[in-house]
Amino acid sequence: MLRNETRSVHVGDLTIGGNDHVVIQSMCNTKTKNVEATVKQILELEEVGCELIRVAIFDQEDALAIREIKKQIHIPMVADIHFDYRLALTAIESGIDKIRINPGNIGSIEHTRAVVEACKARHIPIRIGVNGGSLEREILKKYGKPTAEGMVESAMNHVKILEDLDFHDIVISLKSSNTLLTIKAYELAAKTFPYPLHIGVTEAGTALGGTIKSAFGLGTLMYEGIGNTIRVSLSDDPVKEIQVAKILLKEEGLLGGVPTLVSCPTCGRIQYNMLPIANELEPWLQANVHEDITVAIMGCAVNGPGEARNADIGIAGGVGEGLLIKGGEIIRKIPEDQLVSELKKEILKLVEERKHK
């Protein structure tokens, strides 16, 4: 799949834009000044595949905490700042890797210049984050409501401030909770700006609605080659945001090393209590397996073995037991109460076998 050409910016040891790698990011929901809780959450997110983490900087204590947090984590960090340029300066001094701030919203040009000079000195990029829900009054007056054109114009105004200060390490986001508006805004932005795009549907909702809106919005954009870093936004544990992002990127053909779970919807032919098994296996696979393997959990021995044969490993349920199928062959029968534990062991064994091939 061809990616839209953009400039590239460097965030710690990551590159955003300019290549095919779509960077997966999330945001902590801890108080940043609570270093212990924030580090704990970031380490959990790293474990499931988060590559870049954003934290909210509400006051100086938050900005100062960055230094201690960075000592204990392994991925680059973004400071999310609204309005107060002094928080940006402290975050930069504390070693932040990227800041999210809208230069048009931080007061005088001298404040912006101070932030831009500090970023230039340390090669720190700035993300301009336009939100359809908080467009400037003049833009809303001009367009009558949040529109793609209005969002891009808002971003343009912020970009111009940075470009006039000869600053070009810019990432842009144009989020809305309206998925169609989000798609249109990013499509227009991709034609308008040379800068990499952080894509996301904001305030997308809970795990169900948010996953669907993100899959539609971000999936459409990435299929069009648009988007250099992705944030799935869910009213839930940020670990789920990473899991959804990884599956989405895998299905787009943009990420390897992610397992696929194939499981049937069940029907009247079901022979065992399959749904808890599939629901336990999916997060376990995401957390423990970093290989492109396909695992099938099928409900019955009628259609199940056929489907499971196309997977690397799987089970097809029978009465009080399941058939273990590996590489297209039925290997053995497993009693129902041992299905989950035995399947996990077999999956890990398969991963090990592949490593030594």
Is residue 313 within a helix (H) or strand (E), and if so which, with residue range?
strand 313-318
Using CB under 6 A as the binding rule, whether residue 310 contacts ligand SF4 is answered as: no
Nearest by Cα to 23 from 230, 239, 258 = 230
The rounded distance, in Å, linking the Cα atoms of 324 and 297 is: 10
Pick the stretch among 164-172, 184-192, 231-239, 296-304 that binds ligand SF4 (CB under 6 A).
296-304
Pick the stretch among 177-185, 202-210, 221-229, 262-270 that binds ligand SF4 (CB under 6 A).
262-270
- End-to-end alpha-carbon separation of the chain, Å? 29
Using CB under 6 A as the binding rule, whether residue 118 contacts ligand SF4 is answered as: no
Task: Give residue 193's identity as a one-letter amino acid code.
Answer: F
Using CB under 6 A as the binding rule, whether residue 270 contacts ligand SF4 is answered as: yes
Using CB under 6 A as the binding rule, whether residue 267 contacts ligand SF4 is answered as: yes
Nearest residue to the partner ligand SF4, using Cβ: 299
Measured in degrees and rounded to the nearest 5, phi and psi for residue 41 equal -65, -40
Question: Does the annotation place 291 within a ligand binding site?
Answer: no
Q: Which of 264, 295, 311, 350 binds ligand SF4 (CB under 6 A)?
A: 264
Using CB under 6 A as the binding rule, whether residue 269 contacts ligand SF4 is answered as: yes
Binders of ligand SF4 among residues 193 to 212 (CB under 6 A) are none
Q: Which of 300, 311, 347, 350 binds ligand SF4 (CB under 6 A)?
A: 300
Render the burial of 206-233: b for 16+ CB within 10 Å, e for the rest: ebeebbebbbbbbbbbbebebbbbbbbb
Cβ–Cβ < 8 Å for 148, 185: yes
Question: Does the annotation place 267 within a ligand binding site?
Answer: yes
Q: Which is nearer to ligand SF4, 53 or 316 (CB)?
A: 316
Measured in degrees and rounded to the nearest 5, phi and psi for residue 272 equal -155, 175
| Residues contributing to the site for ligand SF4 (CB under 6 A) | 264-267, 269-270, 298-300, 302-304
Which residues belong to the annotated binding site for [4Fe-4S] cluster?
Answer: 264, 267, 300, 307
